[in-house]
Structure 1
Amino acid sequence: MPGIFISFEGPDGAGKTTALNSLLPKLKALTTQEIVVSREPGGSPIAEKIRDIILDVNEEGMDDRTEALLYAAARRQHLIDVILPTLNAGKIMLSDRFVDSSIAYQGGGREIGEKEVASINDFAIDGHLPDLTIYFDISPEVGLSRIRKDHQEAMDRLEKASLDFHERVHDSYLKLVKANPERIQTIDANQAPDKVVSDAIKSMQKRFPNVFNGGQ
C-alpha cells in the first residue's frame, strides 16, 4: 500500500494534540499499516533545535519574516528526515501541524502575507502536501481561555500573543478551509473530547475507507 500523509491543524487551545494522542490507539486498531506520529515545528533533531529558537519566550526581538523562514526551514528538514521516508516505506504519517500553520500564524497572525508565506513554504515542501488535513476549529477566545487555564506558566511565545493576533490566525484558517475543501476537513473542537476524536476518525475513514477498516 502507498503511504498516507495526514496533518492536524487548529488554533491554540483547540485540543488537536490531545485528540491526536487519544485517537492514535483507536486508529492502530483500524489499520494494518504502521503509523508514525510527529510534530511541527520539530520532529527531527535539526528541526527540534529550530523549534527551541522559534518558541523561546525570551526571543522577543525576532523579526516576523525571520520567524516565517525558520518555520519553513524546520519544515523542510522534517520533510526530508521523517515525512518522506515514512511515506516511501508505505506507512501512515500523522503530523501535528504542517504548512497550513505557517500560512495562518505567520501569514495571517503576523500580517506578513498569506501568499508570501505560502510561497516560502512551496519552496520548502516541494509539492508534498498532506493527503488529508483534519482542522479542529474553535474560537480564539475559547482557545486562549483553555490555554491559560491548563498551562499558564508554560505558554510559549505564540500562545502569549494578543487576542487580535489569534483572531487573525483563526480567520486565516477559515480561508484555508474554504480554499481547500477536498483536503481540509473541519471538526468542531467545542464538543466533548470523545466526540471530537470520533468525528476525526470518521473523517479519516471516509477519505481512506480501504485503510481504516479494521484490517478487513
Structure 2
Amino acid sequence: MNAPGIFITIEGIEGAGKSTAIAGVAEWFRAHGREVDCTREPGGTPIAEAIREVLLNPAEEDLVPPTELMLMFAARAQHVAGRIKPGLAAGKVVISDRFTDSSRAYQGAGRGMDRSLIETLAQTAEQGVSPDLTLLLDLPVDVGMKRAAARRGAGAHDRFERERHDFFERVRAGFLELAGQSTRFALIDAAAPIADVHMQIQTELSARFLLGGGDRG
C-alpha cells in the first residue's frame, strides 16, 4: 500500500528563491524514500501551460484583471485534475511552485479583485485538494526585485515582472496576511543566506513530517 500523498506549495513574490527552495524540498523527501513530482502554476499540464503563455506573455491587448483571474483558475482546475490529484493518489509528494494562495495575493491583494469571488472559484478549481504545507518565502520587495532583475539579466520581462513596486508591496502584504491566518503556512526568511534558508526549510519539514506524529514516509 502506498504511503499517503503529500501536497507542498511554495509561495512568495518575485525573486524569493522558489526554484532553489523547491529543489531542496524535493531532495529532502527523496532522501526519506519518497517519490516526488515538482510542478508549477500556472502550468503543469499541456493545457495549463498553454494558458500560462497567455497569462505571462506581454501583448498589445491588455489582459484585464477579471480575465487574468479566471484564466489562473482555469489553468489551476486543469492542473489539479491532470497532475496534482493523480500524483497524490499514487502516493507521491507533489511540490507546486505556486497554488491558490498566489491568486489570493496577486489577484486579490495586488489587483483588488473580490475575495469572495476568489474563494468561490477556488472551491471549484481545487476539487477538494488543499496543501499539507505552504512554505512562504518572504523578503523585502526591494531585495526581491533586485534578485529577479539579476536572474533575468537582459531577458524580457513577463507581464508580472513589469509591475510596479507598490503592486508587489500589496502582494507581499497579502501573503503575510494569509500566513497569519493558517497553521499550514511556514514563514521562511528568504532574505537570509541560501544555506540558512535551506536549514529553515529542513527544520519545518522535519517538524511536520518526521517529528510530528512519526515519519509519514
TM-score by length of 2: 0.92
Structure 1 residue aligned with 2:93:
92
Alignment-derived partner of residue 158 in structure 2: 156
Aligned partners of 2:29 and 2:35 also within 8 Å: no
Deviation at 1:98, TM superposition (A): 0.5
Measure the CA separation in 2 of the matches of 1:159 and 1:62.
Answer: 14
Q: Residue 57 of structure 1: CA displacement?
A: 1.6
Gaps of 5+ in 2: none
Q: Deviations over 1:122-176 (max 9, x none)?
A: 2211331101101100111111111122214232111110111111101110110
What is the CA–CA distance in structure 1 between the aligned matches of 2:60 and 2:52, rounded to whole Å? Answer: 12
Separation in 2 of the partners of 1:6 and 1:23?
A: 9
Alignment of 1:47-66 (within 5 A): 47-58=48-59, 60-66=61-67
Q: 1:117 to 1:62 in 2, by over 3 A?
A: same
1:37 and 1:94 in contact (8 A); partners too? yes
Decide whether the 8 Å contact of 1:38 with 1:96 is kept in 2: yes
- Over 3 Å counting, the alpha-carbon distance change for 1:116 and 1:160 in structure 2 is same
The residue number in structure 2 matching 1:171 is 173
**2-structure distance, mates of 1:59, 1:74:** 22
In structure 2, the CA distance between the partners of 1:59 and 1:104, relative to structure 1 (3 Å rule), is farther
Question: Which 5+ residue runs of structure 1 have no aligned equivalent?
Answer: none
Contact 1:6 1:95 in 2 (8 A): yes
Q: Relative to 1, partners in 2 of residues 1:56 and 1:208: Cα closer, same or farther, differing over 3 Å?
A: same
User: In the TM superposition, what whole-angstrom CA distance separates every residue of 1:19-41 from its partner, at most 9, and x where no partner exists?
Assistant: 21244334311x22211111110
* Counterpart Cα distance in 2 of 1:10 and 1:76: 21
Q: Is 2:53 aligned against 1:21?
A: no
Q: Structure 1 residues 163, 25: closer, same or farther in 2, change over 3 A? A: same
Q: How many residues get paired? A: 211
User: What letter corresponds to residue 175 of structure 2 in structure 1?
Assistant: Y
Q: What do you get for the CA RMSD once the two structures are aligned?
A: 1.5
Q: Aligned letter for 2:123?
A: D
CA deviations over 1:73-105 (Å, ceiling 9, x no partner)? 100100011100011111111111101001100
Moved over 3 A (4+): none
> Is the CA contact 2:105–2:174 (under 8 Å) kept in the aligned structure 1?
yes
Q: Could you tell which deviates more after superposition, 115-124 or 81-90?
A: 115-124
